[in-house]
Amino acid sequence: QVQLVESGGGLVKPGGSLRLSCAASGFTFDDYVLGWFRQAPGKEREGVSCINCSDSTTLYADSVKGRFTISRDNAKNTVYLQMNNLTPEDTAVYYCAADSAASGLSEFMFDFWGQGIQVTVSS
């Protein structure tokens, strides 16, 4: 069955960096769109970034442009989210997602989800 397992979360100070990883199994990784979403306390889940989801290859939410970078390693069946210059507003549970045909950053386009991992930005 499809499995997506996130790792790399934790507590970081403002201005710091974290790299999230998502190890995938149970599907043909190379053929799938991968995405990262997040949900802060009391807020709806929002799209952060996706790769191979559009003609421009990657998409980013305006709030993370220039600070976050999504990448994938098809040999390792893993997608990454490098997060730099983190702020308290980035505090959320981050989810990895996969779909065979997603074309944007809407959560409704993605069929498969990881369990989520906490990222907390605080001094």
pLDDT computed for residue 73 by the predictor: 97
Whole-number Å distance between alpha carbons of 62 and 7 = 24
Residue 5 C-beta-side C-alpha neighbours within 13 Å = 8
Question: Could you tell me what percent of the chain has a pLDDT over 90?
Answer: 95
- Contacting residues for 79 by C-beta, under 8 A, at least 6 apart: 21, 22, 24, 34, 36, 51, 70, 71, 72, 73, 96
> Over 90: is that where the pLDDT of 54 sits?
no
| Through-space distance between the first and last CA atoms of the chain, rounded to whole angstroms | 40
Tens digit of pLDDT for each residue in 62-91? 999 999 999 999 999 999 999 999 999 999
| Nearest alpha carbon to residue 18 among 111, 94, 115 | 94
